[in-house]
Structure 1
Amino acid sequence: MRVSVPNIPQSLVSTASTPQIPAAEAIDNLSTFLAAGNVTLLTGAGVSVDSGIRAYRGRDGRYMNPNYKPIFYHELIDETERGHAFRQRYWLRSYLGYPSVRDALPNTTHCALSALQYSNIAPRLITQNVDGLHHKALSLVPTNPVQVQESILELHGTLHRVRCKHGHLVDRDTFQEWLSTANPQWKEFAEEIERTGTQPRTNPDGDVAIEHLGVSYNTFVVPDCPSCLRENRTNNVHKPDLVFFGESITDHVRQRSYADIEKADRILLMGTTLATYSAFRLLKHALELEKPVMMVNVGPSRADGLKVQKLDISSGTIIRQAVTNALGSRALEDPVIRKLLSSGISKPPSLDDDDRYPRAAG
């Protein structure tokens, strides 16, 4: 079986990108686009960069490493010894990397987009991200209604749940405890990382590069599912509740994503290159329906050359002021909106953390 990592076509990468736009002009264009309302948002890894989580395909993104070799869905669920080795590698790296994603805080972009959701300017948000930060941003609203949280569609799932091959679902913190119990030596190593602040580079899907430590994966124990044991069967085939390479999104998610595009009057793309087809086809669907589309993203994307208004600028540079302008007096009068527009961190990853050395990634 041959499965490739989706990426931006080289023909787009090699051509000149959209000229960068002055921040004041970008704010004006974006606020005008938003003010008309009924927007569906589609976000990618770029919106989480200011939370300290690297993008997939930016200058230092892991998919820009030509040596990157991810684990595919068919490898992770393989029940042979080879599949077991893949799971040992994946879950050791993910065990060490997950705390950084778990503890990440929403940034100014997440919070400003939550203000758009709360105000009903953008009643629907589709995200390719698996970090849960859009939900964390909405949780800053003390009286946040459940239906607002449910307005977020996680196109590729989430790192915060784990599912066994027989469908038993468990929250990720519980699964981390299972891994700690089964691997006391790695629990001690993880605690040392936390004490010393020497966390290895964490990737946007929650794993870490640890080849340089000279570790062996074959001693890592992936525990059996307790629910399966209660059903008198052993099973240690687990995966996070997200879509792996080579795996398809569910029919429910696909249909919901199309419906979210169809219900909107306009579409805002933010922090995404649209390299994955599950996201790119939503843009295609929007254009087929002749919906106005705006993109806020730095660098080339699969939207380049299509009928899309492109703002080549980082979202964190403009989003607060654009949302403030779009909301008008509500931005000053509504205490919930004021809170959201004053919340969020801005702590992008350090620029000196390179990930270009050869490695076999999980």
Structure 2
Amino acid sequence: MRVSVPGIPQAILSSAGSTKTISPAAAVERIAEFLAPGNAALITGAGVSVDSGIRAYRGKDGRYMNPNYKPIFYHELIDETSKGFAFRQRYWLRSYLGYPPVRDALPNTTHFALAALQYSSSITQLITQNVDGLHHKAFSDVWNVEKMSERILELHGTLHRVHCKFGHTVDRESFQDRLSAANPQWKAFADNIERTGEQPRTNPDGDVALEGVSYNDFVVPECPSCMLEGKRNSIHKPEVIFFGESIPQDVKERSFLDVAKCDRLFIVGTTLATYSAFRLLKHALELKKPVLYLNLGPTRADGITEVEKIELSSSLLLRDVVRALLGTRAQDDFPIHKMLTSGIHNPPDDSDDDRAPRAAG
């Protein structure tokens, strides 16, 4: 089976930098004008979470931060042979160490500004490619789980749940505890990371970079629910869509419906390199819906004349967009005011550049 990691076509990367320049003030005015009629759908990607300290896969030039990175594909993770077992050892060790920083990450100013826009119904539906749950955290004080599930669609799943091959589901924290109990030596290693703060590079999917490490002694525990049914099974995966895995049909259908029932499409912080997201843009254009794109660097949509693009940082603009759009309500409506005064700004250090060749891990 041949599965490739999606990317931006070379022709687009080569022509990067052709976007018209616009001042931040003019950009705020334009985005507010675009969203003013309400009933907009929103698509977000990894760029939205960068200010929460979660590194994006691609840099501002649209290319992978680590060209040597080799993700584990879906067919490798679920392979029932010894080769698949080794892939799962590698995946779960790296994910065991990489999950805590994603779990503990806090929403940034962009998450809260977008939450304010959705709370005010300027944005009706949010479709995120991110698996970190930070959009949900931004709403934790004002919406319950049911409301969030109605208004936020996690297109590529979530890191916060795990299921075995027979469908038994467990929350991620409980699964982390199982991994800790089965691997006391790696639990000690993880505790040392917490004490020293020397966290390995963490990717948006919770995978970390490890060099010179053997995965052979890492134990992936068997599913206790399967054991109660008289089965032995240690094949688990997070509820994340892996490369080479199809998005569930109900999620795909809802994503198309969310775009169709809105009047316009706003896209923030994503290159749309994965087709599951890019096809939603195509769907919006087929339905003749206006599209506004806010992203730093090249995207898969560059060159599509119907797409209006603003190439500025979301953290620079979106809180001002909310104030411009909502006027006095931005101050008088307490949940919105709180959102506009909340959020961290803690992007990875500029020196954290992964372009130098290194082991894929």
- TM-score normalised by structure 1 residue count: 0.96
Q: Give the corresponding residue for 1:341.
A: 340
Q: Give the corresponding residue for 2:146.
A: 146
Q: Give the corresponding residue for 2:37.
A: 36
Structure-2 separation of matches of 1:130 and 1:344: 19
Q: Give the corresponding residue for 1:322.
A: 321
1:217-274 deviation digits (Å, cap 9, x = unpaired):
0000000001001011110000000100000101100100000000111100000100
- What count of residue pairs does the alignment treat as equivalent? 358
Structure-2 separation of matches of 1:54 and 1:289: 34
1:287-323 deviation digits (Å, cap 9, x = unpaired):
0101000000001101111111100011011000011
1:224 to 222, 225, 229: 222
1:276 aligns with 2:274: yes
Structure-2 separation of matches of 1:129 and 1:271: 10
Secondary structure in 1 matching 2:299? coil
* Contact persistence 1:54–1:61 (CA under 8 A): no
Q: Give the corresponding residue for 1:191.
A: 191
CA deviation after TM superposition for structure 1 residue 59, in Å: 4.2
Structure-2 separation of matches of 1:298 and 1:36: 25
CA deviation after TM superposition for structure 1 residue 149, in Å: 4.5
Structure-1 separation of matches of 2:137 and 2:109: 12
Q: Give the corresponding residue for 2:358.
A: 358
CA deviation after TM superposition for structure 1 residue 344, in Å: 0.5
Structure-1 separation of matches of 2:53 and 2:62: 13
Return the letter of the residue paired with 1:88: Q
1:114 aligns with 2:112: no
Structure-1 separation of matches of 2:15 and 2:237: 38
1:303 to 301, 315, 323: 301
CA deviation after TM superposition for structure 1 residue 328, in Å: 1.9
1:53 aligns with 2:54: yes
Q: Give the corresponding residue for 2:135.
A: 134
* Contact persistence 2:110–2:319 (CA under 8 A): yes
Structure-2 separation of matches of 1:167 and 1:218: 26
Structure-2 separation of matches of 1:350 and 1:195: 20
Closer/same/farther in 2, CA of residues 162 and 145 from structure 1, 3 Å limit: closer
* Contact persistence 2:24–2:316 (CA under 8 A): yes
| Structure 1 moving runs of 4+ over 6 Å | none
Secondary structure in 2 matching 1:199? coil
* Contact persistence 1:62–1:203 (CA under 8 A): no
Q: Give the corresponding residue for 2:8.
A: 8
Identity %: 67
Q: Give the corresponding residue for 1:245.
A: 243
Q: Give the corresponding residue for 2:126.
A: 125
- TM-score normalised by structure 2 residue count: 0.96
Task: Select between 11-20 and 250-259 the one with higher mean Cα deviation.
Answer: 11-20
Gaps of 5+ in 1: none
1:235 aligns with 2:233: yes
Aligned-residue Cα RMSD (Å) equals 1.4
Gaps of 5+ in 2: none
Task: Select between 7-16 and 348-357 the one with higher mean Cα deviation.
Answer: 348-357
* Contact persistence 1:135–1:149 (CA under 8 A): no
